[in-house]
């Protein structure tokens, strides 16, 4: 049973009008301004994503913004749900909200006047069973005077069988790990980060990319190493060395995800589940077949499928499908495995920035995954058509095909120090067959525009390409 004292402790601005929210001084994520704009309408805001990417910080920054606008302090309510200390029952959420309306703002009937608005921030709400029905009831009874802003780290619980009850009442926002641009800004690096481009307009902005590389290439190449190895979480820079940063990522992110899944989905063979997680994270960028994975580590296909679904819904893995015009057939064709955060693979293998040179074969896949991340976030698709895929015919493969309307751009990732003409033959043959204007090669450090096998190819260093988002 929650107490009024507990609510007071979580909301110090109620009783101290001079209280300063520490997070208000932190640099903001790109999503912050979008969420701030969405505070004005009545719909529920649902912020989802991995653990430790800054969801709670975002909430505190939004609260600070509301207080700065002179919103009545008691009309701003924050509560963090912690699975370890609170019962996962619908009644608990109801008790928390009832206590707030009864003992804090003294309005248990939810009768609000003209222009009155209540802001309720509920952090990690996925730990509450059937939270959707509770929010719907309060939202409707208040006459849409309650603005709910919620966060969660488990997609399957945030959707759930009762999600349809909030249809037309909720907006979803995905907070990814830090982009390279955010990493530079949040850590106060003195480098220009306003570079903007699009793979569909390279003929017009390639010279800008080339100039940027000439001026900033050395410094951003060096900084990109830290970003790829440990820099995709806001707090890792505060830790003094790579070992502690790896431990933070393995224990506070991967470990917490595994523990959540084991608890929430009642996984009996925890070691088996952790083995699957590690195996998958060490095979990013590979053709993905659950039957083969199960056979390789002696686990049934059914079990592997179940484990993978849990991990996917926890935002640990994503799937890229082979290019096909039919979305119906897409699910039955080849697919590749990626993660939204390459720091995971680096942390599990204790890679340091020096390994970028010492283990180039491993980092080739890590760079490929990083390219996937920026392409996926830049070109999300419509749900009717998929903007991003890979192409494969027999043993011939192109890493990525980006599609916009009727225009395709093939993209290959080549991390070796030298790139031969024959290495690009598959892509240039595909371009010729499809009559494409140009293709793109993501490189270790080469910036160039060349005619290769009679086709126009733009060569862009990976650390410049990271600025796509």
| pLDDT per residue as tens digits for the range 303-352 | 999 999 999 989 999 999 998 766 656 556 899 999 999 999 999 999 99
Q: Which residues contact 403 (CB under 8 A, 6 or more apart)?
A: 379, 385, 386, 387, 388, 389
| pLDDT per residue as tens digits for the range 22-56 | 999 999 999 999 999 999 899 999 999 999 999 99
Distance CA 110, CA 141 (A): 7
Let me know: does 151 contact 48? Beta carbons within 8 Å: yes
Q: How confident is the model at residue 386 (pLDDT cuts 50, 70, 90)?
A: confident
Beta bridge partners of 460: 442
Residues in the chain: 469
Average pLDDT over residues 441-468: 97
The two tokens of residue 179 are: 């982009």
Let me know: does 158 contact 126? Beta carbons within 8 Å: yes
Let me know: does 462 contact 213? Beta carbons within 8 Å: no
The two tokens of residue 60 are: 């505190």
Average pLDDT over residues 142-146: 94
Higher pLDDT, 380 or 433: 433
| The predicted structure's pLDDT at residue 165 | 75
Q: Which percentage of the chain shows pLDDT scores above 70?
A: 94
Average pLDDT over residues 269-282: 96
Cβ burial 21-43 (10 Å sphere, 16+ → b, else e):
bebbebebbebbeebeeebeeee
| The predicted structure's pLDDT at residue 27 | 94
Distance CA 339, CA 317 (A): 4
The answer to whether residue 159 scores a pLDDT higher than 60 is no
CATH of the domain spanning 4-175: 3.40.50.300
Q: 97: closest CA among 159, 139, 39?
A: 139
| pLDDT per residue as tens digits for the range 62-100 | 999 999 999 999 999 999 987 654 447 899 999 999 999
Beta bridge partners of 337: 319
Cβ burial 281-309 (10 Å sphere, 16+ → b, else e):
bebbbeebebeebbeeeebeeebbeebbe
Beta bridge partners of 338: 318
The two tokens of residue 175 are: 């907070």
Q: Residue 240, exposed/middle/buried by CB under 10 A (0-12, 13-18, 19+)?
A: exposed
The answer to whether residue 283 scores a pLDDT higher than 60 is yes
For CATH 3.40.50.300, list the domain ranges present in the chain: 4-175
DSSP string, 72-102: -GGGEEEEE--TTTS---HHHHHHHHHHIII
The mean pLDDT of the chain is: 92
| The predicted structure's pLDDT at residue 161 | 46
Q: Which residues contact 133 (CB under 8 A, 6 or more apart)?
A: 90, 162, 165
The two tokens of residue 226 are: 């830290």
Phi, psi of 252, deg, nearest 5: -85, -20
- In this prediction the pTM is 0.93
Distance CA 224, CA 371 (A): 13
DSSP label at 466?
G
The sheet with strand 396-404 has its strands ordered as 388-393, 396-404, 407-414, 438-443, 455-461, 448-452
The answer to whether residue 380 scores a pLDDT higher than 70 is yes
DSSP string, 143-156: TS-EEEEEEES-HH
Distance CA 147, CA 166 (A): 14
Distance CA 146, CA 271 (A): 43
Q: 464: closest CA among 440, 436, 437?
A: 440
Let me know: does 343 contact 230? Beta carbons within 8 Å: yes
Higher pLDDT, 317 or 294: 317
| pLDDT per residue as tens digits for the range 174-195 | 999 999 999 999 999 999 999 9
| pLDDT per residue as tens digits for the range 95-136 | 999 999 999 999 999 999 988 999 999 999 988 888 999 999
| The predicted structure's pLDDT at residue 467 | 98
Grouping H, G, I as helix, E, B as strand and the rest as coil, residue 443 is strand
């Amino acid at each position: 049973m929650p107490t009024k004292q507990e609510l007071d402790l979580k909301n110090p601005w109620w009783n101290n009008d001079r209280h300063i929210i520490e997070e208000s001084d932190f640099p903001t994520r790109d999503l912050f301004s979008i969420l701030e704009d969405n505070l004005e309408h009545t719909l529920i805001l649902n912020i989802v994503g991995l653990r430790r990417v800054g969801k709670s910080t975002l909430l505190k920054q939004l609260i600070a913004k509301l207080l700065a606008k002179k919103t009545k302090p008691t009309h701003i309510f924050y509560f963090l749900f912690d699975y370890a200390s609170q019962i996962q029952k619908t009644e608990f959420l109801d008790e928390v909200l009832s206590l707030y309306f009864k003992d804090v703002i003294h309005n248990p009937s939810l009768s609000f006047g003209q222009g009155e608005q209540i802001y309720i921030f509920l952090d990690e709400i996925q730990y509450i069973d059937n939270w959707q029905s509770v929010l719907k009831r309060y939202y409707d009874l208040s006459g849409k005077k309650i603005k709910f802003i919620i966060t969660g780290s488990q997609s399957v619980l945030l959707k759930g069988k009762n999600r349809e009850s909030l249809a037309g009442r909720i907006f979803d926002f995905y907070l990814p790990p830090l982009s390279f641009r955010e990493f530079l800004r949040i850590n106060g690096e003195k480098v220009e980060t306003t570079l903007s481009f699009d793979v569909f307009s390279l003929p017009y902005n390639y010279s800008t990319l080339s100039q940027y590389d000439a001026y900033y290439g050395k410094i951003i190449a060096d900084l990109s190493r830290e970003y790829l190895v440990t820099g995709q979480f806001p707090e890792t820079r505060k830790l003094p060395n790579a070992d502690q940063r790896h431990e933070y990522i393995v224990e506070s992110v991967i470990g917490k995800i595994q523990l959540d899944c084991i608890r929430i989905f009642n996984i009996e063979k925890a070691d088996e589940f952790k083995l699957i997680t590690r195996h998958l994270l060490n095979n990013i960028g590979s053709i993905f077949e659950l039957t083969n994975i199960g056979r390789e580590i002696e686990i049934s296909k059914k079990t592997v499928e179940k484990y993978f679904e849990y991990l996917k819904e926890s935002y640990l893995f994503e799937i890229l499908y082979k290019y096909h015009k039919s979305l119906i057939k897409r699910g039955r064709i080849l697919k590749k495995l990626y993660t939204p955060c390459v720091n995971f693979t680096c942390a599990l293998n204790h890679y340091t920035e020096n390994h970028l040179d010492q283990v180039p074969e491993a980092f080739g896949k890590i760079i490929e995954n990083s390219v996937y991340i920026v392409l996926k976030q830049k070109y999300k698709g419509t749900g009717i058509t998929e903007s991003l895929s890979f192409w494969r015919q027999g043993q011939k493969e192109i890493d990525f095909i980006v599609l916009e309307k009727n225009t395709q751009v093939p993209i290959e990732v080549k991390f070796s120090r030298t790139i031969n003409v024959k290495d690009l033959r598959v892509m240039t043959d595909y371009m010729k067959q499809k009559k494409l204007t140009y293709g793109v090669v993501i490189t270790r450090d080469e910036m160039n525009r060349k005619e290769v096998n009679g086709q126009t190819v733009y060569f862009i260093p990976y650390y410049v390409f990271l600025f796509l988002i």
